[in-house]
Amino acid sequence: MQISKETLVEDILDAYPQCVSYFIMNKVSPFSCAGAFPSTLGEMLKSRKVEDIEGFIHGLNEAISKDNS
C-alpha cells in the first residue's frame, strides 16, 4: 500500500503497526484518546502542525518499504 494524504490513519496502523516508531521519532502521535486518529493522514498532520506534510509522508513510505524488505 502506498501511503498518501488521503490514507486513513487507522488503515496505516492496521497494515503497518511497526510504523508507530516513525511517527514517534518525528514527534507526531498517530493516536487520539479513543485510539487511532479518526481521519486521513493529511488531516492529522495538519492538525498536528507538521510543516512538511509531503516530506513526512515520503519518509513514512520509505520507512515502511525498509521494514518490508
* 3 domain-assigned: no
Does residue 13 register a pLDDT over 70? yes
Listed in sequence order, the residues at least 6 apart from 16 whose beta carbon sits closer than 8 Å to its beta carbon are 64, 67
Q: How confident is the model at residue 1 (pLDDT cuts 50, 70, 90)?
A: confident
Residues of the domain holding 14: 9-67
Q: Using H for helix, E for strand and C for coil, what is the string for the chain?
A: CCCCCCCEHHHHHHHCHHHHHHHHHCCCCCEECCEECCCEHHHHHHHCCCCCHHHHHHHHHHHHHHHCC
In a domain, 36, yes or no: yes
Q: Total structural domains in the chain?
A: 1
What pLDDT sits at residue 35? 63
**How confident is the model at residue 37, as a pLDDT?**
78
Residue 4: inside a domain? no
Tell me the three cell numbers of residue 49: 502542525
Percent of the chain with pLDDT over 70: 94
Residue 2, in any domain of the structure? no
Amino acid at 26: N
Q: What is the pLDDT of residues 14-45, one digit of tens each?
A: 999 999 999 999 999 998 876 677 899 999 99
| Residue at 1 is within a domain | no
